[in-house]
Structure 1
Amino acid sequence: MEQLSKDVVKVYVWELPVRIFHWINAGAIMLLILTGLYIGKPIVGSTTGEEAYYTFLMGWVRYIHFFAAFLFTANMIFRLYWVFKGNSFVTTNVLRLAFWKEIFQTVKFYLLMKNRKPHYTGHNPLAQLTYLVLMGGGSIVAMFTGFYLYFEPQPESFFGKLFAWVPFLFGGSFSVRSWHHLMAWVFIIFIVIHVYLSFREDWLEKNGTMSSIFTGFKTEKKDKVETHGGEIQPMAGAAQKDAEHE
């Protein structure tokens, strides 16, 4: 633990695998959104005036989309594993009554109302629930609908049969595409809110929220971290953990 002053310490919040996951996820989602919107409504066509296969623009966009989709899926599977492997800042327990009470207090805090929101070194309960619903549930919908559309032309293949149930849950092929497209806009809205709240948290709390996703550390008052069960990781120990993860 690096004690910056009598009452302020640096807390090792985001382990190296979490930080790597975050940036891979961010990159994959941006590629998926940009290429997906183009696939749905091409805004640029061939500039040669020849047959489409001479430039293969849509083909390359689709290849990038598919690559990002598989990368996104593998990354999410790893994140699910790290829920059980990682420190206390990457876990969520929605079965606690206190979790839902604290969500209510956090909503009041963001609405600038009187509240009793505790201090959180990691994600607050509202952020945890948002990640669980959007990055968890939303990602599942996007992945299943996407893989169905990818293997739809080969219904007799192994993967075609594996995802054959998707239309029964989301409707026919057009409805599946609509759900997949809707998830893209859900992620776009989420990104805007996520970036805004991250900067807002950093500005109000002065705790290094933005830099922590690069370094892993936040600056916190020692009594608040200890009160809420945060893991105060020594600087040397944190560096050693990062080295072990590499």
Structure 2
Amino acid sequence: MKEDNKRIAEYEFSIGLRLTHWIRAISIAILIVSGFYLAYVFVSPVITSEPVNFMNAKWRAVHQIVGFVLIGCFIFKFYLFLFDKKSKIERVSVKDSINPKIWIDQVKYYLFLGKHPHLSGVYNPLQFVSYLFFYIVLFVICLTGLILYVHVYHEGLGGLLYDPMRVVEVWMGGLANVRLIHHIAMWIIMIFVVAHVYMAIFNAIKGKDGAMDAIISGYKFPKEH
């Protein structure tokens, strides 16, 4: 019997979700590069007696500005997940993530032992748990970043956040531990990004439903049932 390959366009990701995804991706890339510079200076300016270089200050400014962009993006994405009507399909994924049968079927799919399970939401259980872990780590890196920020800027927003961030700093065991946690969180995010890109390509090739198109256009193209 000939397989029916007719496909339908299915709207999966809203414009808000797609924007937060790409802003977050670009921000993370910039933060990784600038963060590496601040931790391990790998470019030195031309030596001059004139006070015009300030390369470290420029890298730090970029890191801080993009860091606040990432924090804003994180807060907005959290709002979308909880309240946006078009993001309901993400919230429904919680139901799939606690279904043992879907877990088993999903693992079998990745091992080429079965078909992809039918999902109520947009994410399979492995994806949902991975993204949940990612956002927890993202929260940690934003929080530790704010603690480091208030130690440099003591007025304005830095002054407003100084006292509560110092309390969190004590909980984490001091400023040295905060910096260490910040770096560890960065490495976890870097590993996640590599795994995320690999699995996105894997699902796009194996599923052949335009899974990677959806994060750009909003639409994927599953087979019509």
- Tell me if both proteins adopt one fold, taking TM over 0.5 as the criterion: yes
Match of 2:61 among 54, 60, 63: 63
Runs (4+) of structure 1 exceeding 3 A deviation are 92-101, 113-117, 153-156
Give the C-alpha shift of residue 93 in structure 1: 5.5
TM-score by length of 2: 0.86
State how far apart, in whole Å, the 1-side matches of 2:160 and 2:212 are: 44
State how far apart, in whole Å, the 2-side matches of 1:102 and 1:93 are: 11
TM-score by length of 1: 0.79
Q: Deviations over 1:164-213 (max 9, x none)?
A: 12223321111100000111111111111111111111111111122221
State how far apart, in whole Å, the 2-side matches of 1:206 and 1:93 are: 21
- 1:106 is aligned to 106
Give the C-alpha shift of residue 104 in structure 1: 4.5
Give the C-alpha shift of residue 129 in structure 1: 1.1
Amino acid aligned to 1:179:
I
Give the C-alpha shift of residue 119 in structure 1: 3.7
- 1:41 is aligned to 40
Give the C-alpha shift of residue 88 in structure 1: 3.1
Say which SS state the counterpart of residue 222 (structure 2) adopts.
Answer: strand
The question of 1:18 aligning with 2:20 is answered no
State how far apart, in whole Å, the 2-side matches of 1:183 and 1:6 are: 43
- 1:178 is aligned to 180
C-alpha distance 174-131 of structure 1, shift in aligned 2 (>3 A): same
Of the two structures, which has the highest relative contact order with CA contacts closer than 8 Å and spacing of 6 or more? 1
State how far apart, in whole Å, the 2-side matches of 1:171 and 1:31 are: 28
Amino acid aligned to 1:143:
C
How many residues matched? Answer: 216
Q: Deviations over 1:47-94 (max 9, x none)?
A: x21359421111111111011111001111111111121333322554
Q: Deviations over 1:109-167 (max 9, x none)?
A: 33x16457514472211111111111x21111001100000102439922111211222
State how far apart, in whole Å, the 2-side matches of 1:26 and 1:71 are: 11
State how far apart, in whole Å, the 2-side matches of 1:51 and 1:101 are: 69
State how far apart, in whole Å, the 1-side matches of 2:28 and 2:89 are: 23
RMSD of the TM alignment (CA)?
A: 2.5
- 1:88 is aligned to 88
State how far apart, in whole Å, the 1-side matches of 2:203 and 2:97 are: 25
Question: For structure 2, which runs of at least 5 residues remain unmatched after alignment?
Answer: none
Question: For structure 1, which runs of at least 5 residues remain unmatched after alignment?
Answer: 224-246
- 2:131 is aligned to 131
Say which SS state the counterpart of residue 103 (structure 1) adopts.
Answer: helix
